[in-house]
Structure 1
Amino acid sequence: MQSLTILKALSDESRLNIFRLLLERDAYIEVISERLKLAPSTVSFHLKKLVEAGLVSSKKDQYYTIYFAVPDFAEVSLKNLVLGAGVKLKEQDKVEEQYKEKVLKSFFKYGKLTKIPSQKMKREWVLARVSENLASNKTYSLADLKELLIEIYPDPGLLITEMNAAGLIEIQNNKYKRT
């Protein structure tokens, strides 16, 4: 499906009106022209664009050409159309992951956290990376957790507070666990 071509074809009000009419019923150029108060040459021009986009097709009926909306495209949702519009999500995800790694490298030197970022997104990334040092199914006492985190950052209490606020650890009965 050529989403951009379809979106461009429907971006013109006259083409949109022609397509809407053809969704209701098949029609000749002359009928479309009369109903929409457009010159036949204008209708012909717009139909050509709709045919090129694959939205409209035609069939011969003696001396006339009957135009109709292609059933496959009549049922396409806007979501499917936009998702197929050439946006390369995998490439964008890769670029975002590269950016995330670049950010993390700027806050970690030799495995130690240099500072906690003030920007929310970067702080969440950094804290998530710190939380990876905790075993996922193990509970820690406050002393054990501080001992582990002091190897990463000089103020483990601040890290604990920030990770708890970010929902990366939970506290139950004075025991700390990675969520």
Structure 2
Amino acid sequence: MKNIDELFWNATVEEIKRGYIYDNSAEEYICLICGEKFIKGIIYPYNNYFCDAEKAVKNHIKEKHGSTFNYLINMNKKYTGLTDTQKEILKYFYEGLSDKEIVKAQGGGSSSTVRSHRFKLKEKEKQAKVFLAIMGLLNSSKKERNQKGQEFINIHKGATMVDERYAITEKEREKILKNYFKNGKLSNLPRKEKRKIIVFQYIIKQFDSNKKYTEKEVNHILKKIYDDYVTIRRYLIEYGFMERSDDCSQYWVKL
């Protein structure tokens, strides 16, 4: 099974919109936000009634994540391409507020300004559709299919910075992992940023994305991988692979 980042970035636009995918081979519905799974054929309890797996994943998204819209709109600007003002306006649109109500909620401005934002966002939507069509044609072309191993790795959704450090191909990742890991142990911590990211991507897969860990549990897992587990733990937080509570009592995979 692919990890949650791979599932998310390989999902269709429609699947991302609804917040989950259906895995035919495993016969289960998977939340694209956190990776929680719901098995087809199992009946799940919800409040005072029971529901099937697909309804259960929908309820899960609503209860745990608020909504798919809420999750997507709050993703890193590098992924959404939206300014803070545009995100705020979109939230108002999603809530169904009229232009006048939005002006009031913002504490000033004019309806014409809101209409201008609406127009620009519609233009952005058109551009996105054309770009998706272009990339779809590119990905299906014979030349592109022949570039096996040259595909870029998926960026983890919690990445704090998205730049050229993530321009890593599948071949590069395989080579680096082979050079730095022996029997699951990290030989040494690489200095180059690209290599660090690949190493941390491998390490974070040792954690369950649906579980919260104590610091002792995190240390126990990291000790098996690298002696200086404190440094690794710090980097996982710094690079956006993991989050922790303010009192450091709990750690979890950043989604």
Pick the structure with greater CA Rg.
1
* Structure richer in strand, relative to its length: 1
TM-score by length of 1: 0.50
TM-score by length of 2: 0.36
